[in-house]
C-alpha cells in the first residue's frame, strides 16, 4: 500500500546499474518468473513472496502495459505467510498424540512417530487457516533510478531487496548522504566527507 493511496512515507533505494537496453521484454519475462505463487497447505513452506499488480493483488501474469506507466515501473510486493499460534499447534499435537497412543495401545511414542504427528497436525491446521497477506507498493522511476518502497519494516525491506535483486539482477543501495552524493555527481572530496557522516538521533536531544 502507499503509492496510490495511504501513507506518503517510503524507503528510497538506488540501483547500482541502469536497466539494459532490452529491458522491456527482459523485465516482463523476469517478472513472470518471479510472480507471486500462493502457499500450498500440503507443502512445508510457511511463507511466499512475489510480484503482483499494484492494484490487483490476485493477478500474477504480467504484460508491459500492466506495469509501465509514464517512465515508472509500478509493482506490488506480496507476502503471504501462515501465522498459527504455537500454543494452538501444541494443544492439537498433544491431543493427536493421546489419540494415537490409545489407538495403538502405547504408553510412549518414538521420535519419528511424534514428528509425523506434528507434521500431520500442522498441515491440517494450514488447510483450515487462510494465510495472512501483506501488500506493499513499489515504484521505480527509470530515468532517475529512484526506487520507492512503501514500508519501513526491516523484514519487509530485506525481503523486497532480495526479490528485486533476484528478479532484475541489479543490486539496490539504500538512500544515504553518501549514495545521494554519488547520484548528484558531487565532487570526490565532498563525497569523501559524506562517507564519514554518521546518523543523529534527534529524539534524544534536549
- Owning domain of residue 142: 11-82+132-175
pLDDT score for 109: 82
Same domain? 46 vs 76: yes
End-to-end alpha carbon distance in the chain: 35
Does residue 2 belong to any structural domain of this protein? no
Distances (CA, A) of 5 to 31, 73, 150: 24, 17, 11
* Residues 53-68, mean pLDDT to the nearest whole number: 94
Same domain, 116 and 143: no
CB 19 within 8 A of CB 71: no
Looking at the DSSP bridge assignments, the partners of residue 147 are: 13, 140
Residue 205 pLDDT:
45
Whether 43 and 93 share a structural domain:
no
User: Are residues 63 and 143 located together in one domain of the fold?
Assistant: yes
Identify whether residues 76 and 111 lie together within a single domain.
no
Which of 99, 128, 157 is the endpoint of a domain? 128
Same domain, 118 and 20: no
pLDDT at 17 over 60: yes
Give me the pLDDT at residue 198, please: 59
pLDDT exceeds cutoff 80 at 92: yes
The fraction of the chain above a pLDDT of 70, given in percent, is 81
- pLDDT given for residue 195 in this prediction: 52
pLDDT, one tens digit per residue, over 100-126 is 888 888 888 888 888 888 888 888 888
Q: Are residues 155 and 181 in the same domain?
A: no
187: in domain: yes
Asked if residue 149 and residue 194 are part of one domain, the reply reads no
What's the grid cell of residue 90? 501444541
pTM, whole model, 2 decimals?
0.74
pLDDT at res. 121: 84
Q: Residues with Cβ < 8 Å from 21, sequence gap 6 or more?
A: none
CA distance 78 to 67: 15
- Residue 188: predicted pLDDT: 60
pLDDT at 192: 52
C-alpha cell belonging to residue 150: 512503501
Higher pLDDT pick, 30 / 197: 30
Q: Which three cell numbers stand for residue 146?
A: 529512484
Tell me which range, 40-49, 54-63, 115-124, 186-195, is most confidently predicted by mean pLDDT: 54-63
pLDDT at 31 over 60: yes
Domain count, the chain: 3
Is 6 a member of any domain? no
Q: Read off the pLDDT of residues 157-201 as tens digits, 9 standing for 90 and up.
A: 999 999 999 999 999 999 865 445 445 454 565 445 545 555 554
Amino acid at each position: 500500500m502507499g503509492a496510490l493511496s495511504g501513507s506518503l512515507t517510503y524507503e528510497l533505494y538506488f540501483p547500482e546499474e541502469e536497466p539494459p537496453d532490452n529491458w522491456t521484454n527482459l523485465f516482463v519475462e523476469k517478472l513472470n518468473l518471479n510472480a507471486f505463487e500462493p502457499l500450498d497447505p500440503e507443502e512445508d513452506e510457511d511463507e511466499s513472496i512475489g510480484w503482483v499488480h499494484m492494484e490487483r493483488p490476485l493477478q500474477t501474469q504480467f504484460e508491459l502495459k500492466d506495469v509501465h506507466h509514464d517512465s515508472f515501473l509500478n509493482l506490488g510486493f506480496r507476502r503471504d505467510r501462515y501465522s498459527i499460534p504455537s500454543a494452538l499447534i501444541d494443544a492439537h499435537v498433544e491431543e493427536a498424540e493421546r489419540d494415537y497412543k490409545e489407538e495403538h495401545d502405547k504408553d510412549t511414542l518414538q521420535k519419528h512417530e511424534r514428528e509425523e504427528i506434528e507434521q500431520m497436525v500442522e498441515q491440517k491446521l494450514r488447510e483450515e487457516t487462510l494465510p495472512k497477506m501483506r501488500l506493499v507498493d513499489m515504484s521505480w522511476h527509470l530515468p532517475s533510478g529512484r526506487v520507492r518502497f512503501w514500508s519501513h519494516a526491516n523484514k519487509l525491506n530485506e525481503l523486497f531487496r532480495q526479490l528485486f535483486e533476484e528478479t532484475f539482477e541489479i543490486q539496490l543501495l539504500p538512500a544515504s548522504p553518501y549514495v545521494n552524493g554519488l547520484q548528484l555527481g558531487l565532487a570526490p572530496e565532498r563525497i569523501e566527507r559524506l562517507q564519514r557522516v554518521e546518523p543523529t538521533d534527534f529524539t534524544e536531544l534536549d
